[in-house]
Copies of this chain bind each other. A is one copy, B any other.
Amino acid sequence: MAGYLAITGGVGGAKLSLGLAHVLGPDEVVFAVNTGDDFEHLGLSISPDIDTLTYTLAGLANPKEGWGRQDETWSFMETLTSLGGETWFRLGDRDLALHAYRTDALGSGRSLTEVTADIAARLGVAHRILPMSDEPVRTTIQTASGPLAFQHYFVRDRCAPEVTGFEFSGAATARLNPAITELLPSLNGIIICPSNPFVSVDPLLAIGDARRRLSALDVPVVAISPIVGGAAIKGPTAKMMAELAIPSTAAAVAAHYGDLLDGFVLDEQDGDLHGTLDVPTVVTRTVMVSLADRIALARVTLDFLDSLR
């Protein structure tokens, strides 16, 4: 393969990933997905970012939420509520089947990479979706009131606690997915999707020597800013930056990635930053509402990447 690697988290990253999958064939782009959000819940192994991307590429994602399935039913959740069970993490009946299938497969010794590929194939996804690692890396959010497992912070507590830092348990000793490592020498470029830098992209960069390996490649790395006009399109990125005393700006995101980046994609609303950063930038519409928006951003990003080679 001579193509691209896209590093992505959940909803925001999946939007651009869908655009990339429309522009590039299965041999031209591979998705490396955050598993720091993965967790065990009610006996099930749940991989929220992998599933969001899988559903998105399969055309099965709930168009309103961006996560979960479009044709979902909720009998399980209704009954769990009546039993007084833990209902803070919403699990649809169809979504549950995927978690049960994965839990069963992992229990029988298959790797997350194998199970993810199997599920994607079953749902008709032709592109490769690769977990960042087959070993567990778990994101903990450090808050003013103590550490929280990622999903407790993100879903149960709705990102309300004040963030003071992050920990990626297992990252130091985990191995970057060998299927990703194998691809590196043949890449033309790396795209960091407009995902949360702290909790969707940093977990991958924290794995072993992943960041150094990516930096050392002789191909450009381009990120798309998840911060537009000082706010996050979705999720707690801007709130986290404020709590960490980092300006909630696209410039601060670029600075956070630092020398890993060879280029940075700014939204039109941040056009005034063009030419002011330490890294080459391109300005385009990054707010993706329609499929056309996703495809357009994918094209601009790829053209920009190619211009940097």
On A, residues with C-beta under 8 Å from B are 41-45, 72-73, 75-80, 82-86, 92-94, 96-98, 100-101, 103-104, 107, 118-119, 122-123
Contacts and interface: CB of A to CB of B under 8 A. Distances in A.
B97 A80 contact: yes
Q: Quick one: which of A41, A79, A104, A122 has the most chain B CB within 10 A?
A: A79
A281 B17 CA distance: 74
Contact of A83 (B44, B78, B119): B119
7 contacts: A42-B104, A72-B75, A75-B75, A76-B76, A83-B119, A83-B122, A93-B93
A94 B76 CA distance: 5
Nearest to A73: B75
A80 B105 CA distance: 12
State the number of copies, please.
2
Given A43-B43, A43-B45, A100 B76 contact: yes
A52 to B, nearest CB: 16
Contact of A80 (B43, B85, B86, B100): B100
Contacts of A41: 104
A98 B83 contact: yes
Nearest to A43: B103
Nearest to A107: B43
Given A43-B45, A44-B43, A104-B43, A97 B122 contact: no
A72 B79 CA distance: 10
